[in-house]
């Protein structure tokens, strides 16, 4: 634990960095126990023995706090809607490239694989990833599509992206693990594009 | 455990059904410990304290023994090549329908979800599913394609099918869990078709 605030001898609130660490630990426990939808900023604050306002002060929204708790230096809930807002041509390829380039970073891959293993492997933590995906990612993608079947389109995209990550980085099927990012962008990008727009 | 052989009062080897059960238990342990590629009929026979010939006698090949050990009443290593051998039109849709119809059976779904959870969730058992998929399923699909990039095509199909099963039956993303089999066949079938043949 490093100090988060610059040290100030007098007047500095006792245990400011302690509160931050306590909130983060409470968030990890609360998310693991209740899933993404069940945990709230309020329940996390109560568990940490602090006011909700302090949680917002240190971490912002629930999605911010989740990203911090999971420890992945990546914000798909912010980046993906940005990709979708660009020109419609090649949205699929840009999305696949974004995910693969992220997972090619060892630190993202390490934590991402851990998160996938945990979420798929345990009945207890499955709702964590499913809830985050549904609320923060798929619903935003769906909103940007504005069709009757937008939720299904977004979920189909998630199924192909998740399957690609699992086959390449978890199961490590040789042909997929050995393919280049460009090769996979060229093969999987059109699938994502079709699910979104065709 | 039911008797597999017709009972014969005299001359029946003592403990025939015991041997069968012991081989099956040894197979479960050996597959779990060494993965699909690492375990052999020989190593399983040694672990059970019987001759390899007896393993072949009761269970046939390693793939047969694996299907029995995993307990899924489904033989994709036999059924999938059969689907691929049919008319090229609609192979993708037939493949997706085959997988979904299987998983709509409660017993297949229960064991299939358990297998996926175990294989993705644990570093120890991941090679089990990956090995079976690669050796018994993907290599057969690839052989039937007869192109330079057949292995990659087969692995891409596996990634989409696995992702669909995980999103629908494990994560249970609402839009996918709520879609009908026909709806999913219509959406995902063309993806599989494209990965295989385009």
Statement: residue A178 has pLDDT above 50: yes
Which of B110, B156, B177, B193 should we substitute to test contact with A (largest number of A Cβ atoms within 10 Å)? B156
Mean pLDDT across the stretch A96-124?
A: 87
Tokens 């009761």 sit at which residue?
A: B58
For chain A, report the end-to-end CA distance as a whole number of angstroms. Answer: 49
Q: Quick one: what percent of chain A has pLDDT higher than 70?
A: 92
Give the residue from A70, A92, A108 where a domain finishes. Answer: A70
Same-domain pairing of B162 and B85: yes
Chain B segment 169-198 residues within 8 A of A by beta carbon are 170-176, 179, 183, 187-188, 190-191, 194-195
Q: Is B99 on the interface with A (CB under 8 A)?
A: no
Same-domain pairing of A166 and A112: yes
Q: Is residue A2 part of a domain?
A: no
What tokens does A47 get? 């568990």
A191 to chain B: nearest residue by CA? B191
Task: Check if the beta carbon of residue A92 is closer than 8 Å to that of residue A196.
Answer: yes
DSSP-derived secondary structure letter, B88: S
CB pairs under 8 A between A and B: 138
Same-domain pairing of B66 and B88: no
Statement: residue B60 has pLDDT above 60: yes
Same-domain pairing of B49 and B84: no
Inter-chain residue contact A162 with B158, CB threshold 8 Å: no
Task: Check if the beta carbon of residue A137 is closer than 8 Å to that of residue A77.
Answer: yes
Mean pLDDT across the stretch A75-89?
A: 87
Q: Is residue B10 part of a domain?
A: no
d(CA B145, CA A67): 42
d(CA B53, CA A160): 43
Q: Is residue A108 part of a domain?
A: yes
Question: Is A103 or A31 the better-scoring residue by pLDDT?
Answer: A103
Task: Check if the beta carbon of residue B122 is closer than 8 Å to that of residue A121.
Answer: yes
B167 Cα to chain A: minimum distance (Å):
6
Q: Is residue B11 part of a domain?
A: no
Same-domain pairing of B179 and B109: yes
A60: helix, coil or strand? Answer: coil
Q: Is residue A135 part of a domain?
A: yes
Give the residue from A43, A70, A97 where a domain finishes. Answer: A70
pLDDT score, position B13: 54
Burial of residue A21, with CB atoms counted within 10 A of its CB: 0-12 exposed, 13-18 middle, 19 or more buried = middle
What tokens does B125 get? 């058992």
Mean pLDDT across the stretch B8-30?
A: 76
The sign of the CA dihedral A191, A193, A197, A198 is negative
Scanning chain A, the segments in alpha helix (DSSP H) are: 16-38, 41-48, 52-59, 62-70, 76-85, 91-103, 106-121, 126-132, 139-145, 150-165, 174-177, 181-197
Inter-chain residue contact A159 with B179, CB threshold 8 Å: no
Give the residue from B47, B70, B93 where a domain finishes. Answer: B70
Q: Is A52 on the interface with B (CB under 8 A)?
A: no
Inter-chain residue contact B159 with A160, CB threshold 8 Å: yes
DSSP-derived secondary structure letter, A151: H
The interface pTM score, or ipTM, of the predicted complex is: 0.80
Inter-chain residue contact A167 with B158, CB threshold 8 Å: yes
A183 Cα to chain B: minimum distance (Å):
10
Of A84, A57, A78, the residue nearest A137 (C-alpha):
A78
d(CA A174, CA B159): 12
Statement: residue B1 has pLDDT above 80: no
Inter-chain residue contact A155 with B162, CB threshold 8 Å: no
Same-domain pairing of A147 and A111: yes
CATH number (domain holding residue A177): 1.10.357.10
Q: Is residue B46 part of a domain?
A: yes
Q: Quick one: what percent of chain B has pLDDT higher than 70?
A: 92
Residues B116-161 pLDDT 10s: 888 888 777 788 888 888 888 888 888 888 899 999 999 999 999 9
Question: Is A72 or B46 the better-scoring residue by pLDDT?
Answer: B46
Same-domain pairing of A63 and A97: no
Burial of residue A113, with CB atoms counted within 10 A of its CB: 0-12 exposed, 13-18 middle, 19 or more buried = middle
Q: Is residue B151 part of a domain?
A: yes
Inter-chain residue contact B155 with A172, CB threshold 8 Å: no
Give the range of the structural domain holding residue A81, as residue numbers without chain letter: 76-197
Mean pLDDT across the stretch B186-196?
A: 96
Residues B173-187 pLDDT 10s: 999 999 999 999 999
pLDDT category at B14 given cuts 50, 70, 90 is low
Statement: residue B6 has pLDDT above 50: no
Asked which of A102-106, A139-143, A180-184, B71-75 is least confident by mean pLDDT, the reply is B71-75
Statement: residue B94 has pLDDT above 50: yes
Statement: residue A95 has pLDDT above 80: yes
Same-domain pairing of B81 and B158: yes
Domain count, chain A: 2
Of A175, A187, A165, the residue nearest A109 (C-alpha):
A165
pLDDT score, position B33: 78
Inter-chain residue contact B194 with A190, CB threshold 8 Å: yes
Same-domain pairing of A138 and A107: yes
pLDDT score, position A46: 97
Q: Is residue A156 part of a domain?
A: yes
Inter-chain residue contact B187 with A179, CB threshold 8 Å: no
Task: Please report residues of B whose CB lies closer than 8 A to that of A135.
Answer: none
Residues B160-174 pLDDT 10s: 999 999 999 999 999
Q: What angle do CA A13, A14, A17 make, to 5 degrees?
A: 90
Same-domain pairing of A33 and A107: no
Same-domain pairing of A26 and A92: no
Same-domain pairing of A88 and A180: yes
Task: Please report residues of B whose CB lies closer than 8 A to that of A171.
Answer: 119-120, 126, 129-130, 133, 162
pLDDT category at A1 given cuts 50, 70, 90 is very low
CATH number (domain holding residue A20): 1.10.10.60
On the CB side of A198, CA atoms within 13 Å amount to: 15
């Amino acid at each position: 634990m490093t100090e988060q605030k610059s040290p100030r001898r007098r007047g500095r609130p006792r245990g400011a960095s302690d509160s931050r660490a306590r909130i983060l630990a409470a968030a990890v426990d609360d998310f693991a126990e209740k899933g993404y939808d069940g945990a709230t900023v309020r329940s996390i604050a109560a568990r940490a023995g602090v006011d909700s306002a302090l949680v917002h002060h240190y971490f912002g929204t629930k999605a911010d706090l989740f990203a911090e708790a999971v420890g992945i230096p990546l914000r798909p809930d912010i980046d993906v809607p940005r990709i979708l807002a660009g020109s419609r041509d090649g949205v699929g390829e840009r999305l696949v490239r974004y995910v693969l380039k992220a997972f090619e970073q060892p630190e993202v891959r390490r934590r991402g694989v851990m998160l996938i293993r945990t979420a798929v492997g345990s009945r207890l933590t499955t709702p964590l990833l499913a809830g985050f995906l549904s609320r923060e990612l798929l619903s935003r993608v769906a909103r940007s599509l504005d069709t009757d079947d937008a939720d299904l389109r977004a979920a189909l995209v998630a199924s192909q992206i998740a399957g690609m990550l699992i086959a390449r980085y978890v199961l490590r099927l040789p042909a997929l693990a050995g393919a280049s990012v460009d090769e996979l962008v060229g093969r999987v990008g059109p699938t994502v594009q079709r699910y979104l727009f065709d």
